[in-house]
Structure 1
Amino acid sequence: MSERPRLTVLSGPSGVGKSTVVAHMRKAHPEVWLSVSATTRKPRPGEKDGVQYHFVDDDQFDKLVANGELLEWAVFAGNRYGTPRQEVLRRLGSGEPVLLEIDLQGARQVRESMPEAQLVFLAPPSWDELVRRLTGRGTEAPEVVEQRLAAARVELAAESEFDTTLVNTSVEDVAAELLALMRVV
């Protein structure tokens, strides 16, 4: 009997490539369940409710928080994001590998409520590369990019709070390392 999968949390600064790594990993291993966060931010072009996020308004988010229905939640760039608790626990209970892709605040909350979770920090190859990725997106206003860079400095300083650090020099390599940590391969 193999050991039950534990919750794996992938975190790191905005622009480091978390979504890209996760998408690559799940193409090869769709059995890894990625939690879909609730958010108060508006959908970006091409995003669908229930796929990238559960898009909710402020009142709905307030209810989720008040009812203890979120495993973690945080405010980022003026919007709130949170992980619905029940589905994570249900999937873990059925033996599925579960991955959360969340920010530093969220990772700290998960560490608090589920100390057995495995926290993985995704680091950029360099600060300059992270700045290039964040400014190269072209999807956000300059003040939002500045907020993200300021947050990235704080997030990079918290790397030691994580169980493992992976440096995103290659999406393929990092995806394989993450799968190995999750014992999926």
Structure 2
Amino acid sequence: MDSRARRAETYRWVRDLPYDTVSAHDAAGLRALGRGNCVAKAHLLSEELQRLGATCRMVSWEYELPVLVPVLRELAFSSDVHTSVQVLVEDRWLLVDATHDPALADLGLTVGQWDGESATEPAYPAVGPVAVLDRHGKSPGLDEATWRISREVEATPPHLIAQYQRDLNALFEQARSSRFCG
């Protein structure tokens, strides 16, 4: 198998792990739990692609939360920061976003396809700049958005955030179940 095919196979393996907003938040947790958020999936994808010799970097951007569950309308925030990977292929940085597992396409979420040599669609369209993260996971280009979103999250009653996460992850599980049962 050539390097392009190995990269694409690795991408599919990470992408197909269930996306979940409350499980793993890093690569080690994703390996242990088998499900995780965009940060966990991006870190795992980056680690695995680097093992194959690829050069990777983490990127983030602000995005509007899709209205998938009614409680979203009660939150004091409507955006968040998404994290993904860029891979250097033939002197070009390409977005490679493995966030959503295939069953989530039934909910209207973008599920990426990667051939190992061209960019994927982003899981969520960017609102504002796409910022390269430093080795500590920070980017000055997103400081204002991160600060604003954190203040909005703090202004939201914790029980609403918990309900949002429960409802959203239940919806994801329902989509996965209906795919296997239907």
TM-score (norm 1): 0.36
TM-score normalised by the chain length of structure 2: 0.36
Tell me which of the two structures has the higher relative contact order, counting C-alpha pairs closer than 8 angstroms and 6 or more residues apart: 1
